Amino acid sequence: MYLVADIDVDICAATSCKLCTQYCPEANTINYDDNAGKDKGHKYGSAYVAVDRCKGCAQCVWVCDNMAKHHAIKMTMIDQLPKAAITDRITYLDKGTKAIAAPVEVA
């Protein structure tokens, strides 16, 4: 098993500072869903991680903790995530993306 980044929607959608993706070394790994969290009454959308692309470096954790000071990202064992986004289930929209989080199968 291995670690991937996991973003707490409730914390992220309260501000949605969009800082972490600017520091993730991997392309299109932390994306934004402008509607995530709206169903829970949050004002903004949320960042999410396409776990199939995450290399587990935890740079985003450092950025969210120390630069954004929001503490929304935790490294989590991939088989402990009830649901996650993966590249195949991301739809790009004219502005932003939409992700379908579903259980991930780990071989």
Partner 1 sequence: MSLDYVKFSPGFDKFMPKEYRDMVEHGPFGKKTTVSQMGSFKEILEEHPMCAGCAMTLFIRLAMISFPNPEDTITVGTAGCGRLAISQAAVPFVYGNYGDQNAVASGLSRGLKLRFGDKPKDVVVMAGDGGMADIGFSMTLHSWFRKERFTTIMLDNEVYGNTGGQESGMTNKGQVLKMAPLGKKFEKMDMIGMAKLAGCAYVATVVPNNPRRVESVIKKAVLIAREIGPTYIQAYTSCNIEYSIPTDKVMEDAKSVETDRYAFSEHITDEAKEYLATRYGFKEYLPKPATAAALPKA
Nearer to ligand SF4, 24 or 85 (CB): 24
Is residue 35 within 8 A of residue 16, CB to CB? The reply is no
Q: Please list every residue from 14 through 43 that binds ligand SF4, using CB under 6 A.
A: 15-20, 24, 26, 29-30
CA–CA dist 5, 48 (Å, integer): 9
Q: Counting contacts by CB under 8 A, is residue 9 touching partner 1?
A: no
CA–CA dist 96, 107 (Å, integer): 30
Task: Name the residues that contact ligand SF4, by CB under 6 A.
Answer: 5, 7, 12, 15-20, 24, 26, 29-30, 47, 49, 54-60, 63-64, 68, 70, 72-73
